[in-house]
Amino acid sequence: MSKSILVTGGTKGIGKAILERFGKEGFDLITCARNAENLDTLRSTLSERFPDSKVIAIQADLSKKEDVIAFAEQVKKISIPDVLVNNTGVFLPGAIHEEPEGNFELMMQTNLYSAYYMVRAFAKEMIERKSGHIFSMGSIAGITAYPNGGSYAISKWAMLGMTKCLREELKPHQIKVTSVLPGATYTASWEGVDIPEERFMKAEDVAESVWAAYNLSPQSVVEEMTIRPQLGDL
């Protein structure tokens, strides 16, 4: 029976790269996003590249609790994922004291609450099965304070804390939990900036790191992986 991976926010960047990396290994691929057109394109691309894998792409806005729960229930009718990657996120720079009203709520709901409710949706079945690997997509912004990080940084510091707690909770149940903390990766979030592309990390490198962490023996777990551009943070 094929193993499956669920990557939230999988139509672009790191999420898409992770789906493609696990698709090469024969995993069934499950994802979601807000944009239906992007989902249709992704579904077609993945199905063509990996004809032996089931590809499930469902429209959902994971900044909304009800969408997270509805999406999870749809997935559970098909599969309990072997791998869950909480990748959904939004990045809006700004200083805490002057960023636009609503930034805090949007980024906490999208970057943190979505992962919280997604984990709760699948944890019981993973515990009963005594297997699973949960990856939380954090950020260098979740371990390093910097100006203009604003609510994005707050949400990523919180994500790391939640993932650390989850690691301790699920340890006795043979479920692995890994925090992924990438630095500047060339994705849609950086489009339009006046910085050479070669200064960024590649999304494929993050995906390769996730695959390597997943591929360890049952006796080992990568609790945190910090991945930075070779020349340092931007």
Instruction: Give the chain's domains with CATH numbers.
Output: 4-227 (3.40.50.720)
* pLDDT for position 196: 86
Do the Cβ atoms of 85 and 42 come closer than 8 Å? Answer: no
Residue with tokens 């604003």: 150
* pLDDT for position 118: 98
* pLDDT for position 162: 98
Q: In the predicted model, is pLDDT for residue 206 greater than 90?
A: yes
Mean pLDDT of the chain: 95
Pair of tokens at residue 196 = 């050479």
Q: In the predicted model, is pLDDT for residue 1 greater than 80?
A: no
Rounded average pLDDT over 11-32: 97
Q: In the predicted model, is pLDDT for residue 189 greater than 80?
A: no
C-alpha to C-alpha distance for 115 and 1, rounded to whole angstroms: 27
Q: In the predicted model, is pLDDT for residue 190 greater than 80?
A: no
Rounded average pLDDT over 150-157: 97
Neighbours of 34 (CB within 10 A): 17
Q: How confident is the model at residue 198 (pLDDT cuts 50, 70, 90)?
A: confident
Amino acid, res. 174: Q
Q: How confident is the model at residue 234 (pLDDT cuts 50, 70, 90)?
A: confident
* pLDDT single digits (tens) 74-109: 999 999 999 999 999 999 999 999 999 999 999 999
Do the Cβ atoms of 132 and 84 come closer than 8 Å? Answer: yes
173: Cβ–Cβ under 8 A, 6 or more apart, which residues?
A: 126, 127, 130
Chain centroid, CA 5 distance in Å: 11
